[in-house]
Structure formats: structure tokens, C-alpha cells
Amino acid sequence: MLPNEGPPPSLPVQLLHSITRRRHRVYGLIGGVVLLLAVTVWVYGGFETGIDFFTSVPRPAPPPPPPPQHDPPANHDAITTHAAVDVINGAPSTTAGGVAAPTQTETQADEHPAPDPPQETIEPTDDWRHSNQSPAAASVTPGIPTKIWQILLPKKPDDKTWKADPKSLEDTASWLALNTDYMYTLVSQKGGEELVSNHFSHDPRIIEAYHNMPNVGMKSDLMRYLLLEAEGGVYTDTDTVALQPINDWVPADLRDKVAVVVGFEFDKLDGPWWADINHWVQFCQWTIAAAPGHPLFRSMVDRIIASLDDLSAHYNVPVQDLKPKSFEVMNSTGPAAFTDVVFEQLRLRDPSLKDTADLSGLTEPKLFGDILVLPIDGFGMGQQHSNSTNDGSVPPTALVRHRFKGGWRGSKRRRSEKWRA
């Protein structure tokens, strides 16, 4: 017997069957849609209306809040923030009155009316804390105060009859003319004493070093570092000519980053080594620009004190009785010592630097942390070496011309330059 042997179902019955099958299909379809919906809701964690369809199903955790908007984790940025807060908290008058980039100070104040605890934002990006480098790379609020400093001291320390020769200040006019809104100060005996006692009386080593300097050239050297540490601004020798306004020294896109500007006096390149120069590239200290309080100058003062102690021990005479040779001056207060200290600061900011030769042949300003290094023409144009422009033209990159005319060391330097040329 076959199963469907019976008579075919009547038409109404067939119709009923087909309707039933269609209804099943519709139910199936609706069920499928509901299932799909349920799965969707489970996976995406509910509708935006906030209705929670499946409270028993653990929802995926909400996405973490976006990370705070940090600046790029460059050394100086993090440290600058820290220092800026310190300065604002500690000595409001310094920041308000001294820093030449008022927009920056204002911006900081606007953006951080109630600054967060500085440590929290700093720790993670603070590269030097994780290296074995010293915290001397710590930095200050960028911006060069609108101050120009020159130093003019009598050759003999206690010469009461001494008067400055107006000719020795001829080149100063170029600085005043190009920087009309800058405050100019000529520091001499009394001003120097006052600055040292006003700012450094807490550190007897500095007072002592200043008063015991074996000669006036070295005293002038120490004075410029102390000036820049205490007040910031631009120090420049009296035999320098300003070629560009100080406001144009730092490229516009770097102004909120630069706290020190230094330039070269010598770059060996493919030339010979020079008698008194023990670096492939040597920085000049006839012109330096800085924000106040930069650690570079504290390091430099430490170096001076250490060098004088070394010389004193070596010759077995008290510091004030030393008769240092030319190189000993250069290597204690002058450009050789300055180069050691600047280079150490650059290395704290860029550990890939190994030797001053790594800076050789620079053709445009280069920023290391908050220290801007100028190519040779920046402060050292018009020399017969170092690929300095010396064809009578003044390149737009030349900011200062050093005339090597005055001063205790200047004449010596000029002689050696002739010898070298």
C-alpha cells in the first residue's frame, strides 16, 4: 500500500494547507528578523535610545576616553611645561615682566587657568628622567626677553680714573637702531657688582669667583653668563655689529620653543686644526641670546669654578694670582669651556650627538630641544675660515658681525687669526 493512495484532498483543503504553509513561512521570517535584531542588539550593546534589551548579557565595556591631548613627546615640550608652571607659581614678576614673548605667557595663562599638577602631565614623556642623564637638561619658558646687555670694564680692576672711550661703543648704535623696543644696559664695574650681589648672594662660590677672577677678560666672560642666567636677553660684545633685528633671529615657527640661541665661531670642515681651538666646531660667546634661568648658564658657571680650581691646583697658587695662558682662559671662562658646556646641553637633548664634528657644516638653524644652533654665518660671518661668507656680501642668514677689534682677548684672537689665515 502506498501512503498517498487515498483520493487527492479537495480544493478547500489544499487551499487551507497552502495558507498554513505561507503563514509558517511568515512566522519563520518574523522569527528570523527578531533573532537577527536580538543578535545585533547583543553585539552592539543596545540602541542609542538607551533601552537595554539584554540586561543579563554583559555589554562590551565602553571605549576608553580619548587620551589627553599631549604635545609630541619631545623632551623640551614636557620639561618646558613643568618649568613654565614653576615660574608662574614661583616668581610671577619674572614671567610677567621679563619674558619677551608675552603672547606665550598669556596663552599659557589662558589655556591653563587652573594648571593641573605638573608632574602628572610630565612624567610619562620625560625622557631624561628615564635615561641616566642629569636633570640639567631641564628647561625654562622659551622666549628671549627684550633686553640687550654689553659689558665694558676697565683693564685694571680698581682704576678710579678710568673712563669709557666713546669709540669703543660705536658699534652699539647698530644694536639700538635695529632693536628700538629693547632695553639696553651697559654693565661696568658698579653694575656688575650689583648684579652679582643682587642675584647670587645665596651662592658664595659665585661671589668669590667673580671677585677673584685673575683678569678682566675672564671677569667679563663670567659676567655675561651670570647676566643671562639672572635676567636673560641678548649679551653681545661691544665690537659686534647688529645686522638683523633680534626679533627676526628665531624663525617664526620656532619662537615658542627657543630658550637659547648660540652660534659658531669656528668650524674646521676640511681645513686645518687651529692652535687654541680644541673642538671641531667651537661656539662663540661674543653673542648669546637666552631666556632667564636656563640651566646652560648654571652649568657654565659650575664649569668656570671647577676650571679655576683645577688651574689653581695645577700651578699651586690662589685663583686670584693665576696668570692664565691664552688657552687656559679659553678653556676656563672662554669659548672652549663654553663649547664643552653647550655641547653637553645639546647631548642631553639629543643623545645621538657624539662629537662637536656632528654639528659641522650646518647650513641652517637647527633646534636641539630648546637650544637653537645657528650656522656659521649667524654670529660668525666675515671670517677667513669655517666657510664663513667673506666676499664682502652680507647673507640674509648673518645676524651679527664680530669685528674682533677691542678687548683683552680680541687682539690676541686677531693675531692668531692672521697667523692662521
Ligand X SMILES: *[C@@H]1O[C@H](CO)[C@@H](O)[C@H](O)[C@H]1NC(C)=O
Applying CB under 6 A, which residues contact ligand X? 269-270, 278, 306-307, 310, 331, 361, 363, 387
CA distances from 109 to 8, 87, 115, 289 (A): 94, 12, 9, 25
Asked if 287 and 237 count as a contact pair (C-beta separation under 8 A), the reply is yes
Give 87 or 337: the residue with its C-beta nearer to ligand X.
337
The smaller minimum CB distance to ligand X, of residues 38 and 306, is found at 306
Quick one: which H or E segment has residue 366?
Answer: strand 366-368
**Shortest spacing between CB 211 and ligand X, in angstroms:** 20
The residue among 149 and 338 lying less far from ligand X, judged by its C-beta, is 338
Question: Minimum Å distance from CB 403 to ligand X?
Answer: 22
Residue found under cell 630658550: 259
How many Å apart are CA 208 and CA 383, to the nearest integer? Answer: 37
Q: How far is the CB of 136 from ligand X (least distance, A)?
A: 17
Nearer to ligand X, 287 or 307 (CB): 307
Closest by Cα among 283, 328, 327 to 307: 328
Residue 323 CB, shortest distance to ligand X, in Å, is 16
What are the E-state strand segments in 258-395? 260-262, 264-267, 281-283, 287-290, 366-368, 371-373
Torsion angles phi and psi, residue 328, rounded to 5: -65, -30
Smallest separation (angstroms) from ligand X to the CB of 337: 7
Cβ-based nearer residue to ligand X, 168 or 212 = 212
CA-wise closest residue to 236 among 287, 169, 199: 287
Q: How far is the CB of 415 from ligand X (least distance, A)?
A: 21
- For residue 174, give Cα distances in angstroms to 115, 148, 159, 236: 42, 12, 29, 12
In whole angstroms, the minimum distance from the beta carbon of 145 to ligand X comes to 31
Span between the terminal Cα atoms of the chain, in Å:
126
Report whether 101 contacts 142 (CB < 8 A): yes
**CB–CB of 287/236 below 8 Å?**
yes
Residues 6+ apart with CB under 8 A from 122: 78, 79, 81, 82
The secondary element (H helix, E strand) that includes residue 241 is strand 240-242
Residue 169 CB, shortest distance to ligand X, in Å, is: 33
